[in-house]
Structure 1
Amino acid sequence: MKLKSLTIAIALAATSASAFAAEKTEGFYIGVFGDYYDASWKNLNMHQNLEVNESASWGAEVGYRFSDYWSARLEYADMDFNAFLKNPIPNGNRNDVDGERFGVDALYHFGGGPFYGLFGIKEVKVATDNTFLNAGVGYQHFITDGLFVNAETSVYQGLDRGYTDVNAKLGINYLFGQSSVAEEPVQPAPEPVIVEVAPVDSDNDNIPDADDQCPNTPMTDAVDGTGCTLYEDKEVTVSLLVTFPNNTSAVSTQYLNDIDKVAEFLKEYPDTTVLLEGHTSSVGKASYNKWLSKKRADAVAKKLVADGVAEDRITTVGLGEERLKNEANTKAAHEENRRVEAHIKTIKNVKVLR
């Protein structure tokens, strides 16, 4: 018997059977089996010229099912090995050698279903004794409440001489103490009557009251998925431009309203500061213009302080003629360059409107 053919037969037996749905209770079982054992043993003790190969065998087993998940069994197999004796015949001599195998296995049934894993210890006697640890997988199919077939394959690892063998097995067994319980037909549950109730939205923001974490949101506000007002960051700015006559730092009354607006902005946003930049035209000495531009910035700063802005929030700098707005050498250009400028901006969190 070839291993490939037996493996195909085991696969067909496992896949052609339908699953047996009943749960398995505790009980003893007995069975018989046939198997194929693939060995490759050379130079056995007391038989230095003897090589042992595959075996076709039959056997019997007795076991106990402890639960849906665990069972154990004792196994005996009568084995018939193919052997090869090198000497004294020059070309060797092939013959059959009788053997036997016995041992114990523990089986774990995955999820209580048909597939299981196994591990055990076996003694194989052929010409000499060899002890093996074995592990493998298998499949059970219940034909009736107690009668079932099984197919499995295992790897054997020798403890005495390090042999590694393979075994494939097909058996039939009977588990005592099982009985089918007729299942009552399952009556379909009556379909529930669903009564749709429109969700209540008291503040008309399209978020039902049951999910609304911010009730009574103003109608003008856009809201998020929890019914709360949406906000967005928006940049707000204010600018100041004060011009001066030639060679003076006095602030004209016409700019007082503009300075007041800057003061109010600074009060509304207390984290902001202001930089006042003083400038001159290109007429005159650069060093004098530097001094005059700083004096102009300081004059505007005094107006802001008078409006209630703290001095430590105001910085002044005199740039003289370093940054001309108009580089032409004309009266209009000079008037445009004589100035104090400020630009203040900040981020404001504002509501999003619907």
Structure 2
Amino acid sequence: MRIELSGEALEFGNQVRRALQAAGGDELVQAAEREPERRESLVAPVLGALGAWELRPRHDGEELEAAAALCRSAGYWAAPYPVAERLARPVDPDVDGLLVVSGDEPAAAVAGLDLRWAAVAFDGSRGAVTVRPPVGSARSSAFVTRVDVRPLDDDGAADLALALVLPCWTLLGMLDRAIELARDHVLVREQFGRPLSEFQSVQFQLTDAEVERRGADMLARYALWSIQSGRDDALIDALSLRSATLAAAETVFRIAHQLHGATGFCDESPLSWLSRYSLPLRRLPLGAAGTDELLAGLAGRDGLAGLFDPDGA
């Protein structure tokens, strides 16, 4: 079992992060919120110039790793664009991306984009998507809007694992940045004449956040390996990753906001934007409770094989 990303994939992710920083960095999501009609032009051409939309993560293991690294870098800057959903696109050439949907009122963060979408539900059914006009401002919706799904006579079960795993890599990038912002804040902020970073309680909180982030990181790499290997349990591994990443996000953002105090909820702080635009990833297509319920139903009495299963080595 090899769950480390290749050097090429890591370097590609670094290039994406630098390119997005040069294109605006934190300003990208702020500009998209002010002018939602610019949402696609702010991000898609930058990634297109790096060959992002030429990646074929369904057909090549190295390109799957590159796609994961790309999603992580996009999440680091809270790039206001559905990068993971585009990379998870099915083989069907008539669509630009794939959404995982659930419930009677499916929704996705795809408002204001001139793209063609397919959808897959957790029962494996495929559908064609019509995006409804957004209700409310981008600030209040974080680009989430209702979508209508017209069922197709097609089985999309094989699409589910990849379409669940790549958005988790985007969220993982957001956790990377949230912890980095929290560390930077406590290094420069003083209380009682000492940097906050010297207080033991602060050190314990940052350690808790980092442990959660590293656990999610390990499972993210394992889930990629599971997809690469064509495991029958790839969907269960993907849901396990989503469950762990949602739990990590809850801990990391809670601690980051606690350490920032009130400033963490102000627009002057990048944490405020990062936290707000993480919510669609954390709530759609299922929140933590729904994800755990579905995972428990699929895993059944046998439970999870997991990273340390002796038969999976």
TM-score range, shorter chain: under 0.3
Structure holding more strand per residue: 1
Higher relative CO (Cα under 8 Å, sequence separation at least 6) belongs to 2
Give me the TM-score of the superposition, normalised by structure 2.
0.20
- Higher Cα Rg: structure 1 or 2? 1
For normalisation by structure 1, the TM-score amounts to 0.18
